[in-house]
Structure 1
Amino acid sequence: MEWKLKKFNELNCEEIYNILKLRTEVFIVEQECPYQDADGKDQKSLHLYLEDNGEIIAYSRILPKGVSYDKASIGRIIVKKEHRGKGLSRKMILTAINYIEEILKETEIKIQAQAYLFDFYGSLGFEGISEEYLEDNIPHIDMLYKK
């Protein structure tokens, strides 16, 4: 298994379908959160994912500065349910941070973290910068990483 990182226009139809399928499976069905996933930001993002036998099992998107915030961002962070607890999220976030620092030359990364993952993101260098709030009826907190 190898991490892949592609711009939107480098993704083929099958990859786009599998990414959207996984995002729907986790964020809309598993978390019971109806929201507009296709938000117009995918075309401006980089897509980081891990495949196992042709199935995407971990995914996140890297949003360059100016797409969501005045800082680079990482979003839509997912690990397929049966692959959780194996350190894939940590590897994925560290890969994304490295790309943002080394390729995009950014020193700050802002994320909207689900509140229950506050300690996880904290262990990767993110610090809370907001009070807890509801986003699509799920508690979130804004967090910032500084190199």
Structure 2
Amino acid sequence: MHPEPREEIRVASFRDLDATTLYAILKLRVDVFVVEQKCPYPEIDGRDAEPGTRHVWLTRGDEILAYLRILDEGGTERIGRVVTAPQARQGGHASRLMEHALTVIGNRPAVLGAQAHLEAFYGRFGFEVCGDGYVEDGIPHVPMKRS
């Protein structure tokens, strides 16, 4: 009988990601944002490899349950690409990642573009709407910030 693999949060820069992990992260993002949400857009946008970008993900064994990235925007941190694998939803994984991301960010201000239906979710972490809503790839979004 094998023990259940434990869950672990990991943080890495682009250059510290191995090819297998990077592939799994990009596959999860494309599966959810492009295929499931039916939004054909350039998911691989060039920002993943920027020196200040931190990739944060939750694993169980070799499986990535949830992911987000933190972009350095010159004094402000941008949280984005927050995603949970379909089979892992409702497990609190995105909340755990958000809490961990905020410890990585520390006292620096943070912003994000939230899908509008997730405004209350991000509000639990101190984010507030900071502008007019907008539509991105057919999905209503709101800009949010945390001071």
Query: TM-score of the superposition, structure 2-length normalised?
Result: 0.91
What stretches of structure 2 of length at least 5 have no aligned partner?
A: 1-6
Root mean square deviation, CA, Å: 1.1
* Runs of at least 5 residues in structure 1 that lack an aligned partner in the other structure: none
| Structure 2 counterpart of 1:85, from 90, 94, 108 | 90
- Given candidates 80, 97, 100, the residue that maps to 2:102 is 97
CA shift, 1:24, in A, is 0.5
Cα drift, residue 124 of structure 1: 1.1
After the TM superposition, which residues 34-113 of structure 1 pair with which residues of structure 2 at under 5 Å, given as runs?
Answer: 34-44=40-50, 45-66=53-74, 71-101=76-106, 106=108, 108-113=109-114
* 1:27 and 2:27 matched: no
The count of corresponding residues between Structure 1 and Structure 2 is 139
Larger Rg: 2
Counterparts of 2:21 and 2:91, CA distance in 1:
23
CA positional deviation for 1:48:
0.4
Shift of 1:53: 2.6
Report the residue type matching 2:67 in the other structure. Answer: Y
Q: Tell me by how many angstroms 1:50 deviates.
A: 1.2
Contact 2:116 2:141 in 1 (8 A): yes
* CA–CA separation in structure 1 for the residues paired with 2:76 and 2:137: 22
Runs of 4+ residues over 4 Å off in structure 1: none
Q: Distance in 2 between matches of 1:97 and 1:53?
A: 24
1:19 Cα deviation from its structure 2 partner: 0.6
Aligned-partner Cα distance in 1 for 2:16–2:119:
33
Shift of 1:84: 1.0
Alignment partners' CA distance in 1, 2:80 and 2:33: 12
Aligned partner (choices 1, 6, 10) of residue 12 of structure 2: 6
